[in-house]
Chains A and B, each alone.
Chain A
Amino acid sequence: MLTNILSISLGAILIENFIFSQFLGICPFMGVSKKMDTAMGMGLAVTFVMGVASMFTWLVNEFLLIPFEIEYMQTVAYILVIAALVQFVEMFLKKSIPSLYQALGIYLPLITTNCAVLGVAVLNTQNGYNFIESVVYGVTGGLGFTLAILLFASVRERTEFAEYPKPFEGFPIALVSAGLIALAFMGFTGLKIW
């Protein structure tokens, strides 16, 4: 059980990183990675939503979709759960942490359509994870997202000051550096201990 959870965590954070290996959730990854502190906030918000979404989608799947044999409504049901969750998180942040709410801006409601969140729910079902495994996969997947966005934000903060050809200014250089980090993450592919 413990080794299983460890292998899921390691897989979600490094080997099958949501951003760099599965290319899910690229929108906030590119959008909110200009500053380290907002990147951290976004990472933690996504981690929270992914963890809780994994929990609720597993419950919905197990106790509603499977008993009523309506698994084909999976995507609709999951999006419903995620949208409600993100709304809840948004209200909570607006009340409790207004500074983070302002820093995340438009990207917070966009977590609703973040494919990493829907992706983790669908992958949980596809991989046949049980409740604990689903939650672990959701949280560690979110931590992998946080790691990726933090690494990328730190690189982008430095490219602000770097000298590179004019045509690369702005998003081109960001995409190039994202690609290079993704290449580095390919090195983790061989890391299958368990």
Chain B
Amino acid sequence: MLTVVYAVVVLGLVAAVFGFILAYASKVFAVKVDEREEAIASILPGANCGGCGYAGCGAYAAAIAAGKAPTNACAAGGNSVAAKIAEIMGTESSDISIRNVAFVKCAGGDNTQRKFDYLGLKDCLSASRVGGTGPLACPSGCLGYGSCVAACPFGHISVKNGVAVVDHENCVGCMACADACPKHLIVKVPYEADINISCSSKEKGAALRKYCNIGCLGCHICEKTCQHDAIHVIDNLAVIDHSKCTSCGECVAKCPRHLIHDARLNTEGETPQSAD
């Protein structure tokens, strides 16, 4: 009988001691959470894309609540989310100023010859380390193993015909894909910029012609065609100045390699519409 009493008393006392210690600890280690922070975090898309420049939606919410971040930095959420956040913070709502999207500066893929058959991990970084620059004959071409596809939190980038393609309409511009690309082919362009150059090769035209059917030869035809001084060939590669480009589409039609990409065209080979 006595052992039962001992058991109850001893264990009860031990439990009580632990209970007091935990109660005290919960005061010492209490974490203060700003109510606004939780409210903002519940509004944000929760994809943790990092497009706002913070580690994730939670970090961005904390920064807004602390007054350290603007309310309109979430490109993925768009203007409606920015307005709701501004409402919570009690500040004036402001639209997201410039919408940026990602663009893959390569259209090679199946148009480019391969140095060897790569059978390793289906991952661009691994592939790019084999044979110096990877299996592709072009040292700056898209490998097409889809590391950017895996990195995109929204599923707005895909590999078509061996080359990554961004969904221009739906891309939120978080640039998570750009960090995943070992060739650094993915750049941030303004959403309004319809015309982009789908090539990153600075190789001379004669050499490039041997392994890629689509890459930029640096032939200057686009430069001569452009009436707005927006396109220039620098180091054998056409470079477009989005501040001058009017999206007229003349260079798209004239390019002998058809590598100037017009976001308004969904299928290749279609005649570009004039934007007047």
Report which A residues bind B (CB closer than 8 A).
60, 64-65, 68-70, 73, 76-77, 80-81, 84, 87-88, 91-92, 94-96, 98, 102, 158, 161-163
Given contacts A68-B6, A69-B3, contact A77 B14 (CB under 8 A): yes
Q: Which residues of B lie under 8 Å from residue A88 when comparing CB positions?
A: 21-22, 25
- A60 touches which one: B14, B30, B58 (CB < 8 A)? B14
15 contacts between A and B (CB under 8 A): A64-B14, A70-B7, A70-B11, A73-B7, A73-B11, A80-B14, A80-B15, A88-B22, A91-B25, A91-B29, A92-B29, A95-B29, A95-B30, A102-B58, A163-B122
Q: Determine the main DSSP class of B at the interface with A.
A: helix
Provide the bound-state CA to CA distance between A156 and B15, in Å. 40
Give the complex CA separation of A39 and B260 in angstroms: 46
Which residues of the partner chain A approach B11 to less than 8 Å between Cβ atoms? Answer: 70, 73, 76-77, 80
Contact B18 A84 (CB under 8 A): yes
The size class of the interface chain B forms with chain A is 20 to 34
Asked if B234 is an interface residue, CB under 8 A from chain A, the answer is: no
Instruction: Identify the closest chain B residue to A87 (Cβ).
Output: B22
Q: In the bound complex, how far is the Cα of B29 from the Cα of A87, in angstroms?
A: 12
* Given A77-B14, A161-B121, A161-B122, A84-B7 contact (CB < 8 Å): no
B1-41 vs A, CB cutoff 8 Å, 1 = contact: the mask equals 00100110011001100110110011001110000000000
Q: Is B123's CB within 8 Å of the partner chain A?
A: yes
A95 touches B31 (CB 8 A): yes
Q: Which residues of B contact A102 (CB under 8 A)?
A: 58
Set of chain B residues within 8 Å of A92, measured between Cβ atoms: 25, 29
Q: How far is the CA of A162 from the CA of B29 in the complex (A)?
A: 43
Residues of A within 8 A of B126 (CB): 161
Please, which residue of chain A has its CB at the minimum distance from the CB of B30?
Answer: A95
CB-defined contacts of B21 to chain A, threshold 8 Å? 84, 88
Which chain B residues lie closer than 8 Å to A64 at the CB level?
10, 14
Question: Does A70 contact B3, Cβ atoms closer than 8 Å?
Answer: yes
Contact B22 A84 (CB under 8 A): yes
Complex CA distance for A68 and B14, rounded to whole angstroms:
13
